[in-house]
């Protein structure tokens, strides 16, 4: 009887060992799956934040083209407002604009009739892992007081650091 109980004990130990090895392999596969799923979710959230920041910028009252009481023009930025935005943003960076834009870079590129770049906002994260730019084609209106507005074309680049 002693020999038979030793064999059963060895069988039980072998079955438990195989069970724990399979359990360990399953845990490792599940960990790898969750790791890649978390990375994908992070990329999805970063792109969502980039699009949200770009839309906030595009419809910010500090930039939009308006004609007094009328409705604002779609996808239009006022160049007079854009030119003065950098100084306004730097004055109120921590108290207001950082809560809107967070860590991002906002630039307006004028392409036609002449190429010009306007840097509106830049707040870079110290340990940047990712930079995700979003682009929107915009019309740029330049109107001096009492004259007809001049329109040019360009694009708005909003890059988000994550």
Q: What is the pLDDT of residue 89?
A: 81
Torsion sign across C-alpha atoms 95, 135, 52, 140: positive
Alpha helices in 59-121 (DSSP H): 79-91, 98-101
Torsion sign across C-alpha atoms 136, 137, 143, 147: negative
Q: What is the pLDDT of residue 41?
A: 94
**Cβ–Cβ contacts within 10 Å for residue 109, how many?**
16
Nearest partner of 124 among 91, 162, 74, judged by Cα: 162
Q: Mean pLDDT over residues 45-66, rounded? A: 88
Q: Is the pLDDT of residue 146 over 70?
A: no
User: What residues pair up with 153 in beta bridges, in sequence order?
Assistant: 112, 139
pLDDT tens, residue by residue, 81-91: 898 888 888 78
Contact 111, 155 (CB under 8 A): yes
pLDDT tens, residue by residue, 107-130: 999 998 899 999 999 888 888 778
- Give the three-state DSSP class for 67: coil
pLDDT tens, residue by residue, 6-48: 899 999 999 999 999 999 999 999 999 999 999 999 889 888 9
Q: Is the pTM of this model over 0.85?
A: no
What's the distance, CA 136 to chain centroid? 14
d(CA 37, CA 46): 14
Helix (H) or strand (E) holding 136: strand 131-142
Tokens standing for 48?
């969502």
Helix (H) or strand (E) holding 112: strand 104-112
Q: What is the pLDDT of residue 145?
A: 60
Where do the domains of the chain lie? 35-161
């Amino acid at each position: 009887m002693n020999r038979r109980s030793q064999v059963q004990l060895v069988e039980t130990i072998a079955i438990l060992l195989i069970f724990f090895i399979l359990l360990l392999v399953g845990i490792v596969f599940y960990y790898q799956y969750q790791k890649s799923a978390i990375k994908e979710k992070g990329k999805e959230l970063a792109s969502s934040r980039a699009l949200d920041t770009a839309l906030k910028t595009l419809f910010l009252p500090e930039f939009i083209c308006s004609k007094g009481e009328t409705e604002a023009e779609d996808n239009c930025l006022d160049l007079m407002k854009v030119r003065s935005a950098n100084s306004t943003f730097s004055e109120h960076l921590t108290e207001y604009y950082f809560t809107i834009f967070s860590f991002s870079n906002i630039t307006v590129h004028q392409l036609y009739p002449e190429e010009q770049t306007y840097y509106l906002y830049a707040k870079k994260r110290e340990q940047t892992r990712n930079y995700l730019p979003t682009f929107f084609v915009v019309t740029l209106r330049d109107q001096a007081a009492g004259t007809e507005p001049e329109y040019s074309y360009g694009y708005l680049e909003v890059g988000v650091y994550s």
